[in-house]
Every structure is written in C-alpha cells, then in structure tokens.
Amino acid sequence: MKSTDSATPPQAEPRKKRTRLTPEVRRQQILDAALAEFNALGFTAASISKIASRAGISKANVYVHFASKDDMFETLLDQLMTRSRTNWSQLQDVASVDELVERLIDFAYGGLTDDTIAITRLLITEGHRMPHLLEKWMIGQAKADRQALIEGYVEKGMVKPSPLTEHFSFVMAPVVYATVAQMVLGRDKAAGEVEAIKETHRKLLTLLLTPTER
C-alpha cells in the first residue's frame, strides 16, 4: 500500500531489509515470537500475522519454515518441554535428608519461571491438540525415574519410608498448585501465596522424610 516508488526496487528502503538467515536461526526467531503470542492469547486467538511481525518477517515466510500453525505449535511445545525438563539428576548424590529437601525445593520452585508457566498454561489450554505430547510429559519415564530415586534413598535408610515415598510424584503437587496460582493470578498477585507454599512445603518434606530417631 505504501511503496509507490516503483522505480528502485533494491535500494531506497532503509527500513525493511530482506535479510537472509539460516533456517535454524529463523525458526528459532519464529518460535520465540510464537511462544509470546500463544502464551498471551492461547493457540486460537494467536495469529500468524502477529507472530510473523513480532519475528520481523513476512507472514508467508512463516510457511517456509513451518508447515502449518499446528506444526509450529507442536514444535514449540516439544522444544519447551525438552528445555525445561527438570534436572532430577541433581538429586542423585546427596548426603543427607536436609540436602535432599533443599535441592528439591530449590529447583522445583526455582523452575517457576515465566517459561515454565507458559508451557504449563499451553499444556492445559491446548494440550488436547496433541495428546501424545501430554503423555510424554505427565506420565512416562520421568515419573518412574523419580520413584526409583527416592526408593534408593529409602533403602539406604537415609529417608524414612512413608506414604509419600510410596507415591513420590505426589511431591510435586504443591508445585503444581503454585504454578496454577501464578498462572491465574499473575506473578505479582500470587507471589505471597507462592512463597508461603514453598516454605510450608520445605518444612513438611523435612518432617516427613527425616528418619525418626530412636
């Protein structure tokens, strides 16, 4: 609509350069833009148009890198999930219950970043679009790994057996609660509640996991 100056195609427009980037870089630019839009508006309400302009490229170019909106979404979710997969291995070699609890609380609540909130929200709101991703995330190997980890400590006698150690994925429940609070209320309004949850969680874990002195 604007460029009426048809005389000089290659030059004359300082603003919009046709920059050619490697596919990987462009893809990532698009995914970053997509995360922002999807997170703010949800899958349906987010528009390719805004994602493209947020990424600084044309709408059509999006389709050079992704087959469809769905494809883009799936790629994004997969990437996010991989990236934010909690590093349970940190819990592998701890010497005491106190250290275990400390590390657990730290990384669980430290992981409450905007990105994690974003991915959780997307899983909840749009997860039905890609059931296979859901399964990978919620159930699956990770869960079994965690269970094995804690049972190892129980056998070693470092951790007291309890209903909690028997179904250890329960340990993440308060984190999910905090996540939902933050998701619904917003970071600032939820801050107080999240902090209280975290402290309560820490105390209860210590209480429950510490072997009873005899």
Q: What's the one-letter identity of residue 78?
A: D
| H or E segment and range at residue 177 | helix 173-185
9's tokens: 């195609």
Asked if residue 82 binds a copy of itself (CB under 8 A), the reply is no
Among 9, 10, 14, 23, interactor with DNA by CB under 7 A? 23
Q: 3-class SS at 132?
A: helix
153 in Cβ contact with 100 (< 8 Å): yes
Burial of 46 (0-12, 13-18, 19+ CB in 10 A): buried
- Tell the residue number behind the tokens 């048809």, with chain if given: 6
- Say whether residue 48 binds DNA (CB under 7 A): yes
Q: Find out whether 112 and 179 touch, Cβ atoms under 8 Å.
A: yes
Q: According to CB under 8 A, which residues from 177 to 206 bind a copy of itself? A: 177, 180-181, 183-185, 193, 196-197, 199-201, 203-204
| Among residues 40, 42, 59, 170, the one that binds DNA under rule CB under 7 A | 59
Q: Using CB under 7 A as the criterion, which residues of the chain lie in contact with DNA when the complex forms?
A: 1, 16, 18-23, 26, 46-50, 57-65, 67-70
Q: Using CB under 8 A as the criterion, which residues of the chain lie in contact with a copy of itself when the complex forms?
A: 1, 4, 6, 22-24, 40-45, 65, 121, 123-128, 134-135, 138-139, 162-164, 166-167, 169-170, 172-174, 176-177, 180-181, 183-185, 193, 196-197, 199-201, 203-204, 207-208
